[in-house]
Amino acid sequence: MGIECPQCGAVQEVSAKENSFPCSFCGASLYFLIDQAVQHFWFRPTLKKHLVPGIIGKWLDEKELRNPFSVLKSEKFFFPMWFLYLKDGGLLKELGAPTPFLELKDLPTPRGDMQAYRPEDLDGETVIPPGIRLDSILDRRFGEQTAARLIKARLCHIPVYHVVYSLGEQTFSAIVDAVQGEVIAGDSPKSPSKSKDKFYGYIMFGAMALFFFQGLLIPGFLNALFLGGISAGVLALFLSDWLSKRGRVQ
């Protein structure tokens, strides 16, 4: 069966066994689908495994989760994505395999260079095969209009770490982008910062009401000012103590 190289147009003879090999004419790395070939790429990971706990720590810190945590496992794998280049200049990314981490779709396009895929570069790595077919994605996305909207598609393998960590008594998991060095998906204990904001709002409302009544009830402007100052000071002490306690998970 002959399939055209998307880079140079040379027709490739494809055996049913192999689905990934370079164009015999221009050398482009190709991935063969049933009736077409797409260019085949990967991104080189830059985040070393020993730096993963630091990334998790920073992410938890941003959520104000400051309890000690420990990374139990971090495993690198290459996740397949279909990159769809549109005629209007847009780029769509679609998951290339089923995954419980749907957030992978929002993975930023890695900043590094796309490397032409050569199997030997990924020797010994875990590479998830593209289990979601490109034609089913194109059908869903564009239907009859595929040719009108799409310039080309590429298969890209993106390196990520699957991290399992414990915090307190519980175990959580996260996905870290191994090019950008950022957590792109993950679960964690509820962040205290949201409930803090709400709590703070109630307290401020209560305080304003208190000051208002003090102003009404206490005779003499200076007395009211003095007592108001004391109330505000006590409130500030109480608040800072209480909020710092809330920053920790029990």
Binding stretches for Zn ion (CB under 5 A): 5, 7-8, 10, 23, 25-26, 28
CB of 41 to Zn ion, least distance (A): 15
* Between 10 and 86, CB nearer to Zn ion: 10
Q: Which is nearer to Zn ion, 10 or 164 (CB)?
A: 10
Give me 33's structure tokens. Answer: 């689908």
Which residue, 26 or 234, is less far from Zn ion as judged by CB?
A: 26
Rounded to 5 degrees, what angle do the CA atoms 180, 182, 186 make?
Answer: 140
Provide, rounded to whole angstroms, the least separation between the CB of residue 37 and Zn ion: 9
Question: Is-contact 171 165, C-beta < 8 A?
Answer: yes
Residues 6+ apart with CB under 8 A from 116: 22, 28, 29, 39, 40, 41
Task: Tell me whether residue 7 or residue 46 sits nearer to Zn ion (CB atom).
Answer: 7
Q: Are the C-beta atoms of 173 and 162 separated by less than 8 Å?
A: yes
* Least Cβ distance, residue 25 to Zn ion (angstroms): 5
With beta carbons less than 8 A apart as the criterion, state whether 185 and 89 touch.
no
For residue 28, the minimal CB distance to Zn ion (Å) is 5
